[in-house]
Amino acid sequence: MEDLERFEKALRIVERYEGYLFRRAMGIALIVCGIVFPLTAFMVMKAESMAELLNMSARAFLTFVPPLILLIGIGTIVYGFTSAHVVTSRMRKESIWKDIPHMVIMFLVWFISFYLTNYVPEPFTTVSWLWAGGGAALISYLLNRSYTTEAEYTELLIIGIICIVASLPLLLIREEQIVLTATFLVFSVSFMAGGLYSTVNASKLLSEREK
Amino acid sequence: MAEKEAELPDVLDKGGIFSAQQRFTIMLLLYLHKRAGFTELQKLLGLTPGNLDHHVRKLEEVGYVKTRHVLDWRPLKVIEISRAGAQAFKEYAVNLRKLLEQVT
Protein backbone atom coordinates (compact mmCIF):
# COMPACT_ATOMS: atom_id res chain seq x y z
CA MET A 1 0.00 0.00 0.00
CA GLU A 2 2.91 2.28 0.71
CA ASP A 3 4.06 1.70 -2.88
CA LEU A 4 0.63 2.69 -4.19
CA GLU A 5 0.67 5.89 -2.17
CA ARG A 6 4.15 6.69 -3.47
CA PHE A 7 2.95 6.11 -7.03
CA GLU A 8 -0.15 8.29 -6.57
CA LYS A 9 1.92 11.10 -5.08
CA ALA A 10 4.46 10.90 -7.92
CA LEU A 11 1.67 10.87 -10.49
CA ARG A 12 0.17 14.06 -9.04
CA ILE A 13 3.57 15.77 -9.33
CA VAL A 14 3.98 14.60 -12.93
CA GLU A 15 0.50 15.93 -13.71
CA ARG A 16 1.56 19.31 -12.32
CA TYR A 17 4.65 19.17 -14.53
CA GLU A 18 2.50 18.41 -17.57
CA GLY A 19 0.25 21.35 -16.69
CA TYR A 20 3.38 23.52 -16.64
CA LEU A 21 4.56 22.17 -20.01
CA PHE A 22 1.13 22.79 -21.54
CA ARG A 23 0.90 26.36 -20.25
CA ARG A 24 4.42 27.07 -21.47
CA ALA A 25 3.63 25.62 -24.91
CA MET A 26 0.47 27.72 -25.03
CA GLY A 27 2.45 30.85 -24.14
CA ILE A 28 5.00 30.14 -26.87
CA ALA A 29 2.18 29.42 -29.36
CA LEU A 30 0.53 32.77 -28.59
CA ILE A 31 3.83 34.65 -28.93
CA VAL A 32 4.55 32.88 -32.24
CA CYS A 33 1.01 33.72 -33.47
CA GLY A 34 1.58 37.33 -32.43
CA ILE A 35 4.72 37.48 -34.57
CA VAL A 36 4.04 35.16 -37.51
CA PHE A 37 0.50 36.01 -38.60
CA PRO A 38 0.79 39.82 -38.59
CA LEU A 39 4.27 39.50 -40.15
CA THR A 40 2.93 37.27 -42.93
CA ALA A 41 0.03 39.65 -43.57
CA PHE A 42 2.46 42.58 -43.67
CA MET A 43 4.73 40.70 -46.12
CA VAL A 44 1.77 40.00 -48.41
CA MET A 45 0.68 43.64 -48.26
CA LYS A 46 4.15 44.96 -49.01
CA ALA A 47 5.18 42.14 -51.36
CA GLU A 48 6.27 44.39 -54.21
CA SER A 49 8.60 46.64 -52.24
CA MET A 50 9.99 43.67 -50.26
CA ALA A 51 10.64 41.73 -53.47
CA GLU A 52 12.44 44.75 -54.91
CA LEU A 53 14.67 44.90 -51.82
CA LEU A 54 15.55 41.22 -52.20
CA ASN A 55 16.02 41.62 -55.94
CA MET A 56 13.37 39.08 -56.91
CA SER A 57 9.97 39.16 -58.57
CA ALA A 58 6.89 39.83 -56.42
CA ARG A 59 5.37 36.54 -57.54
CA ALA A 60 8.43 34.54 -56.46
CA PHE A 61 8.48 36.46 -53.17
CA LEU A 62 4.82 35.64 -52.49
CA THR A 63 5.37 31.99 -53.42
CA PHE A 64 8.25 31.40 -51.03
CA VAL A 65 8.63 33.92 -48.21
CA PRO A 66 5.17 34.13 -46.50
CA PRO A 67 4.56 30.33 -46.69
CA LEU A 68 8.05 29.74 -45.28
CA ILE A 69 7.40 32.08 -42.33
CA LEU A 70 4.02 30.41 -41.73
CA LEU A 71 5.61 26.97 -41.91
CA ILE A 72 8.32 27.89 -39.38
CA GLY A 73 5.68 29.38 -37.06
CA ILE A 74 3.31 26.43 -37.25
CA GLY A 75 6.27 24.05 -36.87
CA THR A 76 7.34 25.83 -33.67
CA ILE A 77 3.79 25.64 -32.26
CA VAL A 78 3.39 21.95 -33.14
CA TYR A 79 6.83 21.14 -31.66
CA GLY A 80 5.92 22.98 -28.46
CA PHE A 81 2.65 21.09 -27.97
CA THR A 82 4.18 17.75 -28.98
CA SER A 83 6.86 18.04 -26.33
CA ALA A 84 4.13 18.96 -23.82
CA HIS A 85 2.09 15.83 -24.53
CA VAL A 86 0.04 14.70 -21.61
CA VAL A 87 0.54 11.11 -20.60
CA THR A 88 -0.79 10.95 -17.07
CA SER A 89 -4.43 11.18 -18.18
CA ARG A 90 -3.79 8.11 -20.36
CA MET A 91 -2.35 6.35 -17.33
CA ARG A 92 -5.50 7.21 -15.43
CA LYS A 93 -7.45 5.77 -18.37
CA GLU A 94 -9.30 9.03 -19.01
CA SER A 95 -10.86 9.25 -22.43
CA ILE A 96 -9.03 11.47 -24.91
CA TRP A 97 -12.35 12.09 -26.67
CA LYS A 98 -14.02 13.90 -23.78
CA ASP A 99 -12.42 17.25 -24.76
CA ILE A 100 -13.45 17.04 -28.43
CA PRO A 101 -16.90 18.76 -28.11
CA HIS A 102 -15.30 21.59 -26.14
CA MET A 103 -12.60 22.00 -28.81
CA VAL A 104 -15.23 22.01 -31.59
CA ILE A 105 -17.22 24.72 -29.77
CA MET A 106 -14.04 26.82 -29.37
CA PHE A 107 -13.24 26.44 -33.07
CA LEU A 108 -16.81 27.47 -34.00
CA VAL A 109 -16.63 30.53 -31.74
CA TRP A 110 -13.48 31.79 -33.51
CA PHE A 111 -14.70 30.81 -36.99
CA ILE A 112 -18.15 32.42 -36.60
CA SER A 113 -16.65 35.57 -35.04
CA PHE A 114 -14.39 36.18 -38.02
CA TYR A 115 -17.07 35.08 -40.50
CA LEU A 116 -19.41 37.75 -39.12
CA THR A 117 -16.88 40.48 -40.04
CA ASN A 118 -18.03 39.98 -43.67
CA TYR A 119 -21.31 41.67 -42.70
CA VAL A 120 -19.73 44.72 -41.08
CA PRO A 121 -20.15 47.89 -43.22
CA GLU A 122 -17.12 49.05 -45.22
CA PRO A 123 -15.36 51.72 -43.12
CA PHE A 124 -15.37 49.42 -40.07
CA THR A 125 -14.45 46.11 -41.72
CA THR A 126 -10.77 46.21 -40.73
CA VAL A 127 -11.45 47.26 -37.13
CA SER A 128 -14.10 44.55 -36.90
CA TRP A 129 -11.29 41.94 -37.10
CA LEU A 130 -10.21 43.20 -33.68
CA TRP A 131 -13.78 42.93 -32.38
CA ALA A 132 -13.93 39.39 -33.76
CA GLY A 133 -10.58 38.37 -32.25
CA GLY A 134 -11.29 40.16 -28.96
CA GLY A 135 -14.85 38.85 -28.70
CA ALA A 136 -13.80 35.29 -29.53
CA ALA A 137 -11.00 35.47 -26.94
CA LEU A 138 -13.43 36.72 -24.26
CA ILE A 139 -16.03 34.05 -25.09
CA SER A 140 -13.29 31.38 -25.08
CA TYR A 141 -12.17 32.64 -21.67
CA LEU A 142 -15.70 32.33 -20.26
CA LEU A 143 -16.21 28.91 -21.89
CA ASN A 144 -12.93 27.64 -20.44
CA ARG A 145 -13.86 28.92 -17.01
CA SER A 146 -17.15 27.07 -17.08
CA TYR A 147 -15.53 23.95 -18.55
CA THR A 148 -12.65 23.49 -16.14
CA THR A 149 -11.76 24.72 -12.70
CA GLU A 150 -8.15 23.56 -13.04
CA ALA A 151 -6.94 26.48 -15.16
CA GLU A 152 -8.07 30.07 -15.63
CA TYR A 153 -6.67 30.98 -19.06
CA THR A 154 -6.31 34.63 -18.09
CA GLU A 155 -4.20 35.10 -21.24
CA LEU A 156 -7.42 34.94 -23.29
CA LEU A 157 -8.92 37.68 -21.13
CA ILE A 158 -5.80 39.80 -21.74
CA ILE A 159 -6.03 39.28 -25.51
CA GLY A 160 -9.76 40.08 -25.52
CA ILE A 161 -9.44 43.27 -23.49
CA ILE A 162 -6.46 44.61 -25.48
CA CYS A 163 -8.18 43.96 -28.83
CA ILE A 164 -11.50 45.52 -27.83
CA VAL A 165 -10.05 48.55 -26.02
CA ALA A 166 -7.45 49.26 -28.72
CA SER A 167 -10.10 49.08 -31.44
CA LEU A 168 -11.95 52.13 -30.05
CA PRO A 169 -9.43 54.87 -30.97
CA LEU A 170 -9.05 53.24 -34.40
CA LEU A 171 -12.69 54.12 -35.13
CA LEU A 172 -11.65 57.79 -35.28
CA ILE A 173 -8.99 57.22 -37.95
CA ARG A 174 -10.13 57.64 -41.55
CA GLU A 175 -6.91 56.56 -43.33
CA GLU A 176 -7.49 52.89 -44.26
CA GLN A 177 -3.77 52.04 -44.54
CA ILE A 178 -3.07 53.30 -41.00
CA VAL A 179 -6.06 51.38 -39.62
CA LEU A 180 -4.86 48.19 -41.32
CA THR A 181 -1.31 48.49 -39.97
CA ALA A 182 -2.58 49.41 -36.49
CA THR A 183 -4.96 46.42 -36.51
CA PHE A 184 -2.09 44.01 -37.21
CA LEU A 185 -0.01 45.75 -34.57
CA VAL A 186 -2.77 45.44 -31.94
CA PHE A 187 -3.21 41.75 -32.77
CA SER A 188 0.51 41.25 -32.43
CA VAL A 189 0.77 43.10 -29.10
CA SER A 190 -2.30 41.39 -27.60
CA PHE A 191 -1.13 37.88 -28.51
CA MET A 192 2.40 38.54 -27.31
CA ALA A 193 1.11 39.99 -24.02
CA GLY A 194 -1.11 36.92 -23.52
CA GLY A 195 1.77 34.62 -24.43
CA LEU A 196 4.18 36.33 -22.05
CA TYR A 197 1.63 36.12 -19.25
CA SER A 198 1.15 32.40 -19.91
CA THR A 199 4.90 31.67 -20.07
CA VAL A 200 5.71 33.61 -16.90
CA ASN A 201 2.80 32.08 -14.98
CA ALA A 202 3.58 28.54 -16.14
CA SER A 203 6.54 28.34 -13.78
CA LYS A 204 4.25 29.17 -10.85
CA LEU A 205 2.58 25.79 -11.43
CA LEU A 206 5.88 24.09 -10.63
CA SER A 207 6.13 25.57 -7.15
CA GLU A 208 2.44 25.08 -6.32
CA ARG A 209 2.16 22.93 -3.22
CA GLU A 210 -0.59 20.44 -2.69
CA LYS A 211 -3.47 21.66 -0.56
CA MET B 1 0.82 -13.03 2.17
CA ALA B 2 3.15 -11.97 4.96
CA GLU B 3 5.96 -13.87 3.23
CA LYS B 4 5.25 -12.07 -0.03
CA GLU B 5 5.30 -8.68 1.65
CA ALA B 6 8.58 -9.50 3.36
CA GLU B 7 10.12 -10.22 -0.06
CA LEU B 8 8.84 -6.96 -1.52
CA PRO B 9 11.84 -4.64 -1.27
CA ASP B 10 14.14 -7.05 -3.10
CA VAL B 11 11.67 -8.09 -5.77
CA LEU B 12 10.56 -4.58 -6.62
CA ASP B 13 13.47 -2.34 -5.95
CA LYS B 14 16.97 -3.66 -6.42
CA GLY B 15 19.26 -1.71 -4.10
CA GLY B 16 16.41 0.39 -2.74
CA ILE B 17 17.03 3.04 -5.37
CA PHE B 18 13.34 3.82 -5.85
CA SER B 19 12.46 3.62 -2.18
CA ALA B 20 12.80 7.38 -1.72
CA GLN B 21 9.69 9.28 -2.85
CA GLN B 22 11.81 11.95 -4.60
CA ARG B 23 13.84 9.44 -6.64
CA PHE B 24 10.71 7.53 -7.56
CA THR B 25 9.04 10.75 -8.73
CA ILE B 26 12.11 11.83 -10.72
CA MET B 27 12.23 8.43 -12.42
CA LEU B 28 8.47 8.40 -13.20
CA LEU B 29 8.69 11.89 -14.66
CA LEU B 30 11.78 11.08 -16.74
CA TYR B 31 10.31 7.74 -17.82
CA LEU B 32 7.26 9.59 -19.20
CA HIS B 33 8.99 12.70 -20.55
CA LYS B 34 12.60 11.56 -21.23
CA ARG B 35 14.22 14.72 -19.83
CA ALA B 36 13.63 17.64 -17.48
CA GLY B 37 15.53 20.73 -16.38
CA PHE B 38 17.29 20.71 -13.01
CA THR B 39 15.60 23.93 -11.90
CA GLU B 40 12.18 22.69 -13.01
CA LEU B 41 12.64 19.49 -11.01
CA GLN B 42 13.86 21.43 -8.01
CA LYS B 43 10.78 23.67 -7.98
CA LEU B 44 8.45 20.77 -8.72
CA LEU B 45 9.73 18.62 -5.87
CA GLY B 46 10.29 21.53 -3.49
CA LEU B 47 13.90 20.54 -2.86
CA THR B 48 17.05 22.56 -2.31
CA PRO B 49 19.66 22.32 -5.11
CA GLY B 50 21.92 20.24 -2.85
CA ASN B 51 19.13 17.86 -1.94
CA LEU B 52 18.09 17.31 -5.55
CA ASP B 53 21.73 16.91 -6.55
CA HIS B 54 22.06 14.13 -3.95
CA HIS B 55 19.13 12.19 -5.46
CA VAL B 56 20.33 12.76 -9.03
CA ARG B 57 23.83 11.55 -8.09
CA LYS B 58 22.35 8.39 -6.59
CA LEU B 59 20.51 7.73 -9.83
CA GLU B 60 23.62 8.58 -11.86
CA GLU B 61 25.75 6.17 -9.83
CA VAL B 62 23.57 3.24 -10.91
CA GLY B 63 23.46 4.54 -14.50
CA TYR B 64 19.74 5.31 -14.55
CA VAL B 65 20.09 8.98 -15.48
CA LYS B 66 22.68 11.27 -17.03
CA THR B 67 23.07 15.01 -16.75
CA ARG B 68 24.22 17.36 -19.45
CA HIS B 69 24.54 21.08 -19.85
CA VAL B 70 22.73 22.77 -22.71
CA LEU B 71 22.77 26.35 -23.85
CA ASP B 72 19.27 27.77 -24.11
CA TRP B 73 18.63 31.48 -23.63
CA ARG B 74 20.55 30.75 -20.41
CA PRO B 75 22.75 27.78 -19.48
CA LEU B 76 20.63 24.85 -18.35
CA LYS B 77 21.38 21.61 -16.59
CA VAL B 78 19.22 18.87 -18.05
CA ILE B 79 18.62 15.43 -16.57
CA GLU B 80 17.86 12.60 -18.97
CA ILE B 81 16.84 9.03 -18.37
CA SER B 82 19.21 6.38 -19.73
CA ARG B 83 18.13 3.24 -21.56
CA ALA B 84 19.10 1.17 -18.50
CA GLY B 85 17.11 3.51 -16.28
CA ALA B 86 14.00 3.26 -18.46
CA GLN B 87 14.32 -0.54 -18.50
CA ALA B 88 14.81 -0.76 -14.72
CA PHE B 89 11.89 1.55 -14.03
CA LYS B 90 9.66 -0.34 -16.43
CA GLU B 91 10.48 -3.63 -14.68
CA TYR B 92 9.85 -2.02 -11.32
CA ALA B 93 6.48 -0.62 -12.47
CA VAL B 94 5.43 -3.96 -13.98
CA ASN B 95 6.33 -5.80 -10.76
CA LEU B 96 4.53 -3.18 -8.71
CA ARG B 97 1.42 -3.57 -10.84
CA LYS B 98 1.50 -7.36 -10.52
CA LEU B 99 1.88 -7.03 -6.79
CA LEU B 100 -1.00 -4.58 -6.50
CA GLU B 101 -3.19 -6.92 -8.52
CA GLN B 102 -2.38 -9.68 -6.03
CA VAL B 103 -3.06 -7.47 -3.04
CA THR B 104 -6.33 -5.90 -4.27
Indicate whether B26 pLDDT > 90.
Answer: yes
Residues of chain A with pLDDT under 50: 211
Flag if A17 and B33 touch (Cβ within 8 Å): yes
Any bridge partners for residue B37, and if so which? B78
The structural domains of chain B, ordered by start, are 21-103 (1.10.10.10)
Residue B26 to residues A54, A148, B54: CA-CA distances in angstroms? 51, 28, 12
Interface test with A, best of B17, B33, B47, B48 (most A CBs within 10 A): B33
ipTM, two decimals: 0.80
Indicate whether B13 pLDDT > 70.
Answer: no
Q: What are the pLDDT digits (tens) for B33-50? A: 888 999 999 999 999 999
Which of A7, A11, A209 is the closest to B46 by Cβ?
A209
Query: pTM of the full predicted structure?
Result: 0.78
Say if residues A191 and A31 touch (Cβ distance below 8 Å): yes
pLDDT at B5: 44
Indicate whether B20 pLDDT > 70.
Answer: yes
